[in-house]
Amino acid sequence: MKHYDQVLFVCTANTFLSPVAEGIYRYNALDWMPKGISRGLVVLFEEPINPKCNLLLTKNNFDISGHNQSRQLTEEDLTEDSLILTMTLSEKVKLIEQFEHEDNVYTIGEFVGEDTDIVVPSSGEDEKYRECFEELVMRVNKVIGKLEKLYKEI
């Protein structure tokens, strides 16, 4: 079993999905687990986190106060001890092509044994954002459970 120093959540712009995943992970992960961070594949300039994202996190007692601006994924983020989880297969492919880095790169669904992507809702409906948020909570908690199980086997 690989020992990870960090769990890196990656989405396209780092304004909704990956910061939400980071916030959920930081809140629910055990103290001894790897740190959680998030980055975007295409961050041309820093942007604030999506307001719907902030509202959902706040309503559910998740804190991402340390992450109030989007951040670009860099080569330095991709260490050999990073578990890298993208939200979609296309983001995984783009990351591998852009950085020529394949080690420990999975979609979040792939890592937890599910084959579907998580995408930002195409409509601005609050209900769609809530459903997406709930799916992320479920998947991130599965990531935590898998890491806990794998680390206990060491």
Residue 87 forms part of a structural domain: yes
Q: Please compute the mean of the pLDDT values over residues 129-150 and round it to a whole number.
A: 94
Count of structural domains within the chain: 1
pLDDT at 150 over 70: yes
Residue 125 forms part of a structural domain: yes
Per-chain mean pLDDT for the chain:
91
Q: Could you tell me the pLDDT band of residue 154, with boundaries at 50, 70 and 90?
A: low
Q: What is the pLDDT of residues 79-125, one digit of tens each?
A: 999 999 999 999 999 999 999 989 999 999 999 999 899 998 877 78
Q: Could you tell me the pLDDT band of residue 1, with boundaries at 50, 70 and 90?
A: low
In the β-sheet with 105-107, what is the strand arrangement from edge to edge? 35-40, 6-11, 82-86, 105-107
CB distance 138 to 26 below 8 Å: no
Which residues are CB-contacts of 110 (< 8 A; sequence separation ≥ 6)?
A: 89, 92
Residue 1 forms part of a structural domain: no
Q: What is the pLDDT of residue 108?
A: 98
User: In this structure, are strands 82-86 and 105-107 parallel, antiparallel, or unpaired?
Assistant: parallel
CB distance 25 to 143 below 8 Å: yes
**Angle, CA of 47, 49 and 52, to the nearest 5°:** 135
Q: What is the pLDDT of residue 45?
A: 87
Per the structure, the complete domain to which residue 102 belongs is given by: 6-152
Say what the pTM is. Answer: 0.93
Residue 12 forms part of a structural domain: yes
- Provide the CATH number for the domain around residue 45: 3.40.50.2300
Q: Please compute the mean of the pLDDT values over residues 18-27 and round it to a whole number.
A: 92
